[in-house]
Chains A and B, each alone.
Chain A
Amino acid sequence: MTKTRVLIVDDAIFMRNMIKDIFNDDQYEIVGEAANGVEAVEKYKELKPDLITMDIVMPFKSGIEATREILSFDKSALIVMCSALGQESLVMEAIEAGAADFVVKPFKPEDVQRVVQKALSSRAQPK
């Protein structure tokens, strides 16, 4: 079984570590990390992951802008937004920009797994 290649984007090392732990699994391979929107776009181009977990509020470039940019050159990119409570409108903006799905902090590993599985299944199906 090929592993799902994941890119983790969040400006807090703490959050990245937490998310990495959630993807501790035979199904996933964490291929990279980014700490801001600019790095996220660069790493995406470099690594072409199957999935990105994208924080929203980040320095230099927000998660929403990075999402827009990535989708502009790769419409099939699967981006799951990671947001905190109180940011509903930003997540909606991200969804309108084309994000596949979202998780809200505090998130349990099962939540993330579920969302990610669903998002990946949408890839497998013809659109």
Chain B
Amino acid sequence: MDVNKYRALFIEESREHVAEMSRLLVELESSNDRGPLIDEVFRHAHSIKSMAASMGYDPIATLAHRLEDVIGLHRKSGAAFAAPTVDALLRSVDALTQQVQCIADGRQLDGYFELVRTLGALAQVEPPPPPPMPEGEDPFAGLAVVMVRLVAECPAPPLRMFLVHRRLSELGPIAKMAPSLDDVKAGRLKGRELRVAFGSAQQEADVRRVLAQVPDIESVTFEEGGRRAVAVFDEAKPVAETPERLASLATVRVRTDLLDDIMDSIGELFIVRERLRMLLGLDARSPVLSAMDDLGTRIHHLHDQVIAARMMPMRTLTDRYPRLVRDLCRSLGKEVELEIRGRDIEIDRAILDNLDAPFIHLLRNAVDHGIESTAERHACGKSPVGKVTISATRERDHVLVMIEDDGAGIDPVQLRRTAVERGVLTDAQAQALNVRETLYLICLPGFSTKAEVSDISGRGVGMDVVSARIESVGGSLGIESEVGKGTRFIFRLPLTLAIIPVLLVRAAGRVLALPVAKVVTLREANDEILTQADGGRFLSFRQGLHPVLSLAELLGLPKPPAPETFVAVVEAGLELFALGVDAVVGYHEVVLKPLGDPLENLECYAGVTILGDGQPILILDLSKIVRLRTAA
């Protein structure tokens, strides 16, 4: 049997088991209801052990077995897990991760003997006592004895003997047995022979018939206490076999890159349909047009189905975080409780992929910089244990994820000072910022008030990368903070990537796309809704007065001579802005394609799309554009 074809599956499943164990062990440390958790951890360790043993990866099987032993001990005693024990268990889980990686890389496995010994000590595993050596007389004197010899390669001889005993006892009561039943149960065997004496007379034919149904028996001999009559029969050789018939499953595993490919194909289908539609013209009565609409509906449906297949729950990410926070706390000497809500909220995997690094960065920041030391918290009258909460909620067409802490908060005064010191803003500009705008300063590249190159946080992953990632998936980031109270980061995320509705507008002679999700309203710019003041135009909207910003100007394009005729009110971050455009070209659903290198370095664009006529249109990243204005 070729075990190599199972390698990929072994690696994938082991990784899942290891990740779960990590999460559960952290939970176990602080939980009072340990029973079910212990059982789960046990099962995961057990699964790894079984798989590893089947694949012949003995070092992994041994380590997993030791893990099982330690957990099994606690299972029986119900005792709490002491921190050093959890540490050892977590180190073992990490070791297992490394071992699985070695399998993936094709490197030799490390046996982690030190760890195995440590676990052995924790599990109080004793070597089995040596089997007692009976001397002298034959206990079977005068009895009719069946001597069963097992084959040399018999796996688990004690079990085999146990089964033999059971089958024989179905014929009649057993008077004597050597090794004894207790010895067999305890695995104390001396060799591979089992002698059984019946309490009542049995037919040889019956005994043979019963034992013919038990595998791994080399020979069955009938003895009479002292004398031996030899009767041997062979093991039937197993039959060689031929192919196949698999029952179907309720689920299949699909490689995620396959789903991505299908998604791309659907996107292309969509573009082809748009092209067809343009070629056919706009005669609304044409039956072809209604068929085209049908086609569009089908493609949408297909798109939705693949999205559904690509949806993954938040816990795909968040399950690793309790361990992360625990380790951070241990190394920083802080006490932080992590609460995760909305683990089951589902979101497109493509978006989820982009959330991990930002979330981890924010968690690290929260524990490292946000949450104060226990002493400081005590001085402020806060509970000694800091609280960090990650919560995900589903709104109608997006997901809201909040990461908040009850730590020291971000000081806007300090931020403004730093901005001026670093030459990012002039003093006057800094003073002109309101609190909201000030907080967004942390998203500017290279901006931080503390040295973020410590090992814990930083390493070049600053808030600028966080906000860039979020916006690249069509989401937005909001920041709220109060000094002394805490900080909250709010992520507004679309449910899916790929096909999005856009508003095509013209500015400075170019056609650009605004994501409809971010467009709150569209108005014709006339004197009824606009007011002139300070040389500029203002739009009154939802109890706010918004300056009308020229989109052309924001993008650095030459401002048109005539004032813009339309105003689009858009959302950027958590704010509303009014953008002036020359014309509204139309509403389209388009496939968002990411800009590759080097165009993705252009700050204001979230991506590009191709219209049915083959025209590439840049899709605007509104948060970026609006922040350009703030920093200008």
Determine which of B47, B68, B162, B253 lies in contact with A95 in the assembled complex, contact meaning CB atoms within 8 Å.
B162
Q: How far is the CA of A87 from the CA of B245 in the complex (A)?
A: 31
Is the beta-carbon distance between A88 and B56 smaller than 8 angstroms? no
Residue among B10, B40, B55, B214 facing the most chain A CB atoms (10 A cut-off): B214
Cα-based distance from A18 to B6 in the complex (angstroms): 8
Cβ of A84 under 8 Å from chain B: yes
Q: What mask results when residues 230 to 242 of chain B are scored 1 for a CB within 8 Å of chain A, else 0? A: 0000011011011
Are A32 and B214 closer than 8 Å at their CB atoms? no
Binary interface encoding of chain B residues 150-170 relative to chain A, with 1 for a CB under 8 A from any of its CBs, else 0: 000001101100110010000
Measured CA separation A29–B245 after assembly (Å) = 7
Is B244 located at the chain interface by the 8 A CB criterion?
A: yes
A33 x B247 contact (CB < 8 A): yes
From B244, which residue of chain A is reached at the shortest CB distance?
A24
Contact at A20–B246, with CB atoms within 8 Å?
Answer: yes
Residue from B9, B47, B185 within 8 A of A89 (CB atoms): B185
Contact B155 A12 (CB under 8 A): no
| B residues in contact with A102, CB < 8 Å | 156, 159, 163
Q: In the assembled complex, which residues on chain A have CB atoms less than 8 Å from the CB atom of B156?
A: 85, 88, 91, 102, 104
- Chain B: which residue is nearest A113 at the CB level? B238
Cβ proximity bits B1-44 to A, threshold 8 Å, 1 near / 0 not: 10000100110010000000000000000000000000010110
Residues of chain A within 8 A (CB-CB) of B43 are: 11, 57-59
- Give how many A-B residue pairs fall within 8 Å (CB-CB): 123
Q: Give the docked Cα–Cα distance between A24 and B239 (Å).
A: 12
Supposing A57-B42, A84-B53, A104-B155 touch, asked if A14 and B6 sit within 8 A by C-beta, the answer is yes
Per-position contact with A for B137-179: 1 when CB-CB < 8 Å, else 0? Answer: 0000000000000000001101100110010000000000000
CB distance from A10 to the nearest CB of B (A): 9
Contacts of A122 in B (CB 8 A): 213
Tell me whether A30 and B51 are in contact in the complex, defined as CB-CB below 8 angstroms, given that A114-B238, A118-B213 are known contacts.
Answer: no
A13 touches B13 (CB 8 A): yes
Residue of B nearest to A29 (CB): B245
Chain A residues contacting B158 (CB-CB under 8 Å) are 88
Interface footprint category on A:
35 or more
Given the known A-B contacts A18-B54, A105-B54, A121-B212, are A13 and B9 also in contact in the complex, defined by CB atoms under 8 Å? yes
Tell me, in angstroms, the Cα distance from A13 to B62 when the chains sit together: 21
Would you list which residues of chain B between 242 and 297 have a CB under 8 Å from chain A? 242-247, 249, 253
Tell me how many residues of B have a C-beta within 8 Å of chain A: 47
- B46 within 8 Å of A (CB atoms): yes
B78 to chain A, nearest CB (A): 19
- Within A76-102, the residues touching B (CB, 8 Å) are 84-86, 88-89, 91-92, 95-96, 101-102
CB-nearest residue of chain A to B54: A106
B246 contacts A30, C-beta separation under 8 Å: yes
When distances are taken between beta carbons in the complex, the residues of chain B under 8 Å from A96 are 166
In the bound complex, CA of A119 to CA of B212 (Å): 10
| Interface residue B349 (Cβ < 8 Å from any Cβ of A) | no
Cβ 8 A contact of B214, one of A30, A101, A103, A105? A101
Collect the chain B residues with CB atoms within 8 Å of residue A31's CB. Answer: 247
Compute how far the CA of A49 lies from the CA of B49 in the bound complex, rounded to whole angstroms: 29
Known: A18-B6, A84-B53. A30 touches B213 (CB 8 A): no
**Whole-angstrom distance between the Cβ of A11 and the nearest chain B Cβ:** 7
* A42 cross-chain contacts in B, Cβ below 8 A: none
B213's contact among A27, A92, A109, A121, by CB below 8 Å, is which?
A121
Q: How far is the CB of A115 from chain B (nearest CB, A)?
A: 5
B50 in complex: contacting residue of A26, A29, A84, A117, CB < 8 Å: A84
- Asked whether A115 and B6 contact (CB < 8 A) given A57-B46, A84-B46, the answer is no
Give B550 Cβ to nearest chain A Cβ, in Å. Answer: 58
Q: Determine whether B187 belongs to the interface, using a CB cutoff of 8 Å to chain A.
A: yes
Is B65's beta carbon under 8 Å from chain A?
Answer: yes
Cβ contact of A114, chosen from B55, B163, B215, cutoff 8 A: B215
A residues near B236, Cβ cutoff 8 Å: 117
**Chain A neighbourhood of B253, CB < 8 A:** 13
In the complex, are the beta carbons of A92 and B13 less than 8 A apart? Answer: no
Establish whether residues A88 and B51, one from each chain, have CB atoms under 8 Å apart when the complex forms.
Answer: no
Q: Is B209 an interface residue (CB 8 A)?
A: yes
Asked if A108 is at the interface (CB within 8 A of a chain B CB), the reply is yes
Q: Give the one of B47, B50, B56, B166 with max A CB within 10 A.
A: B50
Closest CB-CB distance, A117 to chain B, in whole Å? Answer: 7
Q: Which of A25, A57, A84, A96 has the largest number of chain B CB atoms within 10 A?
A: A84
Taking a contact as CB atoms closer than 8 A, the residue among A17, A91, A111 that contacts B6 in the complex is A17
Residues of B at the A interface (CB closer than 8 Å) are 1, 6, 9-10, 13, 40, 42-43, 46-47, 49-51, 53-56, 65, 68, 155-156, 158-159, 162-163, 166, 185, 187, 209, 212-216, 235-236, 238-239, 241-247, 249, 253
Instruction: Give the top 6 A-B pairs by smallest Cβ distance, nearest first.
Output: A122-B213, A25-B241, A113-B238, A106-B54, A114-B215, A104-B156
Seen from chain A, the residues whose Cβ lies within 8 Å of a Cβ on chain B are 11-15, 17-18, 20-22, 24-27, 29-33, 57-59, 84-86, 88-89, 91-92, 95-96, 101-111, 113-115, 117-119, 121-122, 125
Listed by A's residue number, 17 A-B pairs whose Cβ atoms lie within 8 Å are A11-B47, A17-B9, A21-B1, A33-B247, A84-B49, A88-B156, A88-B158, A92-B159, A95-B163, A102-B163, A106-B54, A107-B155, A110-B238, A114-B216, A117-B215, A118-B212, A121-B212
Known: A92-B159, A114-B235. 6 other contacts (CB 8 A): A24-B243, A27-B239, A31-B247, A32-B247, A59-B40, A111-B215
